[in-house]
Chains A and B, each alone.
Chain A
């Protein structure tokens, strides 16, 4: 029961070492390798997700800045268009006003001229009529040129009074 045997001890040691080497390679080695591989994979995935999120955040800020920029630009374009439209409208109105004024002025001039002409013609006719009437009334054939001057002077006096 308690007899020691060097050979059995030696064989036992060899057995233990053989099993140890086997287990180290095939059990612990393989299991630890696969677990490390998995840990690495998970870590890689986490890192990747983190960098992707960072990238997305960056793109988002960029996009937001672009949108804000575009808004500002649009605002500017609209306001400048409005300003130029207003300016143009003002100019058109001014021009129209000027034109209208000039048309009115010519019309007035024409009216005045016509009026003068008609007055003049009426004056001469009236003078003729007056002479004819006067000659009839006087019944004498007056020197027509002299009489005419007379009437003209009278009429001119009358017209001047008016």
Chain B
């Protein structure tokens, strides 16, 4: 059983592209492609002919998109508006990636592969720093933001450059891997019905929570960098 489990935990290389001395393509990348293909097809189908007077499906889709944007605006304020489509994409991508294992077909959540969560976290930290750079109005403001709220925080703020993406990627990876291991164990003990019940928690609930937390934290970190713009906005009308 232990061996079987360890085998399913491994990031298998499905094939190797014979370039630059062989580029290995992991199973997680293939799963991502599948998820992307499904998402793209669904989005194209749903947004095929949008109308001013929406159908039921369109109303539901609009409600979903509005919900995501309102949730992000609640974290970053209006200043973060231009990053909403990235954060929204990450939310959808992570949500689907986390509970893809539930559907069977031998698919495993790509976020079980630490390399994938590293990619998400790297893009998140780049986004956080870019938005801080833009929000603080250039290089000077960007460097000054490291001495906030007081200069003594400087070393901690610099360390956060590494800590934030590390915590983001490890949290996601650990949760999904943990859920995956627990589900494998439950399936091993009892193969019928009971795994479905637990799957609702470990795959769906925990998966969605982790996607939510990842995007929530990213947008929260961004809001710190965008803060001066907030205050300027709030100060103007008063």
Contact = CB atoms under 8 A, between A and B. Distances in A.
A35 B89 CA distance: 19
Contacts of B113: 8
Contact of A19 (B6, B62, B93, B122): B93
A38 B29 CA distance: 39
A41 interface: yes
Contacts of B25: 7, 11
B91 to A, nearest CB: 10
Interface in B26-45: 26, 28-29, 32-33, 36, 39-40, 43-44
Interface string A1-17: 11111011111110111
A9 B118 contact: yes
B182 to A, nearest CB: 15
A2 to B, nearest CB: 6
Contacts of A24: 85-86, 89
B130 interface: no
Contacts of B157: none
A87 B28 CA distance: 113
Contacts of B32: 11-12, 15
Contact of A31 (B51, B65, B123): B65
B88 interface: yes
Interface in B41-97: 43-44, 47, 50-52, 54, 58, 61-62, 65-66, 84-86, 88-90, 92-93
Contacts, number: 117
B119 interface: yes
A3 B13 CA distance: 12
Interface residues of A, number: 33
A5 B24 contact: yes
Interface in B144-172: none
A154 interface: no
Contacts of A27: 43, 47, 65, 85, 88-89
A37 B123 contact: no
Given A4-B115, A7-B24, A23 B50 contact: no
A4 B110 CA distance: 14
B120 interface: yes
Contacts of A5: 11, 24, 26, 115
Given A19-B39, A28-B85, A31-B62, A12 B119 contact: yes
Contact of B116 (A8, A18, A22): A8
A1 B5 CA distance: 11
Contacts of A104: none
19 contacts: A1-B10, A1-B114, A4-B118, A5-B11, A5-B24, A8-B24, A9-B116, A11-B25, A11-B26, A11-B32, A12-B29, A12-B120, A20-B85, A22-B36, A23-B43, A23-B85, A28-B84, A31-B50, A38-B52
Given A8-B119, A23-B39, 12 more contacts: A1-B6, A9-B118, A10-B119, A11-B25, A12-B119, A15-B119, A22-B40, A23-B88, A24-B86, A24-B89, A28-B84, A31-B65
